[in-house]
Structure 1
Amino acid sequence: MFDPTNINLDILKKRAFNLRWATVPEGVIPLTAADPDFPSAPEIAEAIIRFTKDRYLSYGPPAGLPEFKESVARFFQEKRQVPANPAWLFPVDSAAFGIYLICKTFLKPGDEAIIFDPVDFLFRYSTETVGARAVTFPIPAGPMPVDFDRLESLVTTNTKMICLCNPLNPTGKVFTREELLKFGEIAVKNNLIILSDEIWSDIIYTPNVFTSIASLNEEIRNQTITVTGYSKSYGLAGLRIGAVMASNAAHYDLLFQASLHQSTIHGANVLSQVAALTALNECDDYLKGFVSHLQQMRDLTVAAFNDTPGFQCYLPEGCYVAFANITGTGKSSAEIRDILFNEGKVAIVPGLKEWFGDGAEGHIRLSFATSREILEEGLYRIKNTMGLI
């Protein structure tokens, strides 16, 4: 499934947008947005075809197809040890919207939410869009321990939420059970909502282990709203499908009311729900093969970065992005982006505040969810280009 013959560049150049093949000049290799170059599992396409052949594409239930809700709940029960209730979760049209929805539901103007730095821009964007203030908590790349004393010092009477991104995009950190307990204890002590973004939780490299914070104990679970999605694991970004899960009826009611699903203004389409439930129910072998391939590509990428002049990179524990420190080059993240794009014909994501926060400067992010051949060529271009400046 994950050999180069399964990548159709002609199709990618027509369909893969968001900084990828359809948006770069001919000859440029885009190792940018975290979206795989491989096609999704055949079971997913077959399920969509079966559903559509009857030609009835009617409205679905506002709270989601029952079989979708049951599949997501069963996943959390069996694979994340979370006693999920299908009545307290519903589909959303992306994990990105789920993050925004949780902020919209539990934050108001003047509130504060603690977000990591660096982290995906969606946390700051969602917090600030609803009128709250994003307070940054540094978690740099690498093995340094989390500074929980500093975290507690950031909590004020205005703090209402901690935004947990686990695994952490862009650094690939996977939080340990002990670290998650500390996050949970601080949240419970201060009555903070925990927004737990777990979209990357399937992409974990041995010997690391993923833990859902909602699995730790009932007190922590009751403070937690979990959001996840299926684009990273199964290549479904264009279908825009995720899920939001509460741990009690009160939180669920608030979320569902804020979602506007009951009004038909928002909602996840039925084909996306069919795709996601099929992924959860039938595509374990696909996912296992994908993660196995990704671990090899991770090792290849990090070794190549650490052999490139001015670059230094830690092994990501999860995600399929590598976050390389480029301060040894003496150039900024934006300068490295431009050099690699213009001279090396490789597109990467620079560590700019607009993408990941202030803590990302001096770094670049590269997605390695592609074939060995494409990745090796991209890494060769990077190393060769950096060796010439």
Structure 2
Amino acid sequence: MATFDKVLNRRNTKSAKWDLVKKLYGSDDVIPMWVADMDFPVPSAVTEALSERVSHQVYGYTLTDSNVDEAILHWVQSRHQWNIKKDWLLYSPGVITTLHIAVQAFTDHGDSLLIQTPVYPPFYDLVNLHDRTLLTNPLELKDGKYEINFEHLETQFKKGVKAFILSNPHNPVGRVWTKEELTRIAELCIQYDVLILSDEIHADLIHRPNTHIPIASLGEEVAHRTVTCMSPTKTFNMAGLRISFAVISDKEKKLLLKKHFKKQGLGILNTMGILALEAAYQHGKPWLEELLDVLETNIYLVKEAFSSRKEITLIEPEGTYLLWLDCRAMGLDQKELKQFMQEEAKVGLNDGVTFGDEGEGFMRINVACPTETLQIGLKRIVDALDKKL
């Protein structure tokens, strides 16, 4: 059994999450609950595979062979009921890397790209850093749940959108888009000739009774206009090992994307990342099932902590371990809200406005940590709220 209750000391390990605390939040005594990695040890099979490789003492150029391909194919089929082929795979150091290269490969300067806000901050860079035109389709919060405004989405597509960067499951609002919602997206993308760049890095982190559906699995027509980006790194807490893959059924699109990877000098993968991917997908299922139980408990604790309070409301997640907190009832502007969390509550959360203007009054909290750590963080927030009364 995995160990999810042990509090590990991650300080002085070059951890972005823990070793940047003072720089980001002004004090060493702030509990970091922001960046999307977990405070849990990886599956033992991953540690064993890496340890064995380290003991070999030679770390030369490493390839992906049929065993790695098969591990991915089996995982995607068993986890998401999607039958993909080896020749659809394109390896990459990371999902965001793939998306950047895809924007360069499939769009031109000035082309319109659409995102659904509030959304993962690097999505903005995918548009702005490449001198593309940003269009948004803001999600609408109704009765505690975010929904897509499809009428507005179609209006935006009519403006000539070249590519739609889809977040599924959505970060930060936690939606796992349903088959009906994805089908409507697919139909509109086909109708208006829109390429889908689908970030599905959180695909394995789904909370019951929800089900992740890769949008490209809905049919051949939508699959041929989709680049699906996946990785074991979020699932198994291996972000630092830099490994991911894209699934592209359209041969011409795959060849073009591969060409652009080569132009950027991105043809070599991390030795340890390749081994970790293979081990995680072959042996990590029991670990993941236990993790999902822990996350269910932690989400419940957050819900309970704020259930009797009017100041903060949890937007209950359907997927991911990143929770979106509605703090608008606190009556603070965003600067004051940030100061409250880091200076009074002593917790380091993600600032809602970094996800877009629609994040005003919101904060994002990472609950992928030992329950003891989460309880301390929640108590700090509640105690700080009590002091303000």
| Amino acid corresponding to residue 367 of structure 1 in structure 2 | N
Aligned counterparts of 2:302 and 2:133: Cα–Cα separation in 1: 36
Give the corresponding residue for 1:211: 213
Please give the secondary structure, in 1, of the residue aligned with 2:12: helix
Aligned counterparts of 2:158 and 2:286: Cα–Cα separation in 1: 46
Aligned counterparts of 1:130 and 1:156: Cα–Cα separation in 2: 22
Q: 1:144 to 1:168 in 2, by over 3 A?
A: closer
- Say whether residues 1:195 and 2:197 are aligned partners: yes
Q: 1:13 aligns with which of 11, 31, 36?
A: 11
Aligned counterparts of 2:54 and 2:112: Cα–Cα separation in 1: 45
Aligned residues: 381
Q: Equivalent residues in 2 for 1:48-127 (5 A)?
A: 48-61=50-63, 64-127=64-127
Q: Provide the identity percentage.
A: 26
Give the corresponding residue for 1:38: 40
Give the corresponding residue for 2:357: 358
Give the corresponding residue for 1:313: 314
Give the corresponding residue for 1:340: 341
Gaps of 5+ in 2: none
Aligned counterparts of 2:162 and 2:333: Cα–Cα separation in 1: 35
Give the corresponding residue for 2:303: 302
Please give the secondary structure, in 1, of the residue aligned with 2:308: coil
Please give the secondary structure, in 2, of the residue aligned with 1:388: helix
Give the corresponding residue for 2:237: 235
Give the corresponding residue for 1:270: 271
Please give the secondary structure, in 2, of the residue aligned with 1:313: strand
Give the corresponding residue for 2:283: 282
Give the corresponding residue for 1:256: 258
Aligned counterparts of 1:165 and 1:265: Cα–Cα separation in 2: 24
Please give the secondary structure, in 2, of the residue aligned with 1:243: strand
Question: 1:99 touches 1:195 (CA, 8 Å); kept in 2?
Answer: yes
| Amino acid corresponding to residue 117 of structure 1 in structure 2 | T
CA deviations 1:159-189 (Å, max 9, x no partner) are 1111110110001011000000000001111
- The CA deviation at 1:49 is 2.0
- The CA deviation at 1:144 is 4.9
Q: Equivalent residues in 2 for 1:150-189 (5 A)?
A: 150-156=152-158, 158-189=160-191
| Amino acid corresponding to residue 78 of structure 2 in structure 1 | E
- The CA deviation at 1:378 is 0.4
- The CA deviation at 1:277 is 1.3
Question: 1:92 touches 1:243 (CA, 8 Å); kept in 2?
Answer: yes
Supply the RMSD in Å over aligned alpha carbons. 1.8
Q: 1:375 to 1:144 in 2, by over 3 A?
A: closer
CA deviations 1:273-325 (Å, max 9, x no partner) are 11011111111001110011001101111221333451112211111111111
Q: 1:135 to 1:345 in 2, by over 3 A?
A: same
- Say whether residues 1:147 and 2:146 are aligned partners: no
Aligned counterparts of 1:147 and 1:309: Cα–Cα separation in 2: 27
Question: 1:333 touches 1:362 (CA, 8 Å); kept in 2?
Answer: yes
Question: 2:207 touches 2:292 (CA, 8 Å); kept in 1?
Answer: yes
| Amino acid corresponding to residue 278 of structure 2 in structure 1 | L
| Amino acid corresponding to residue 100 of structure 2 in structure 1 | Y
Q: 1:339 to 1:76 in 2, by over 3 A?
A: same
Question: 1:167 touches 1:198 (CA, 8 Å); kept in 2?
Answer: yes
- The CA deviation at 1:157 is 5.2
Q: 1:388 to 1:333 in 2, by over 3 A?
A: same
- TM-score with structure 1 setting the length: 0.93
Stretches of 4+ moved more than 6 A in 1?
none
Gaps of 5+ in 1: none
- The CA deviation at 1:39 is 1.0
- TM-score with structure 2 setting the length: 0.93
Aligned counterparts of 1:266 and 1:343: Cα–Cα separation in 2: 47
Question: 2:230 touches 2:246 (CA, 8 Å); kept in 1?
Answer: yes
Question: 2:242 touches 2:273 (CA, 8 Å); kept in 1?
Answer: yes
Q: Equivalent residues in 2 for 1:367-386 (5 A)?
A: 367-386=366-385
Give the corresponding residue for 2:135: 135
Q: 1:134 to 1:49 in 2, by over 3 A?
A: same
| Amino acid corresponding to residue 41 of structure 2 in structure 1 | P
Aligned counterparts of 2:77 and 2:313: Cα–Cα separation in 1: 39
| Amino acid corresponding to residue 75 of structure 2 in structure 1 | F
Q: 1:47 aligns with which of 42, 46, 49?
A: 49
| Amino acid corresponding to residue 256 of structure 2 in structure 1 | L
| Amino acid corresponding to residue 272 of structure 1 in structure 2 | G
| Amino acid corresponding to residue 105 of structure 1 in structure 2 | A
Please give the secondary structure, in 2, of the residue aligned with 1:339: helix
Aligned counterparts of 2:277 and 2:375: Cα–Cα separation in 1: 31
Aligned counterparts of 1:369 and 1:175: Cα–Cα separation in 2: 22
- The CA deviation at 1:251 is 1.0
- The CA deviation at 1:203 is 0.9
Question: 1:110 touches 1:158 (CA, 8 Å); kept in 2?
Answer: no
Aligned counterparts of 2:241 and 2:337: Cα–Cα separation in 1: 33
| Amino acid corresponding to residue 361 of structure 1 in structure 2 | E
| Amino acid corresponding to residue 368 of structure 2 in structure 1 | A
- The CA deviation at 1:349 is 0.9
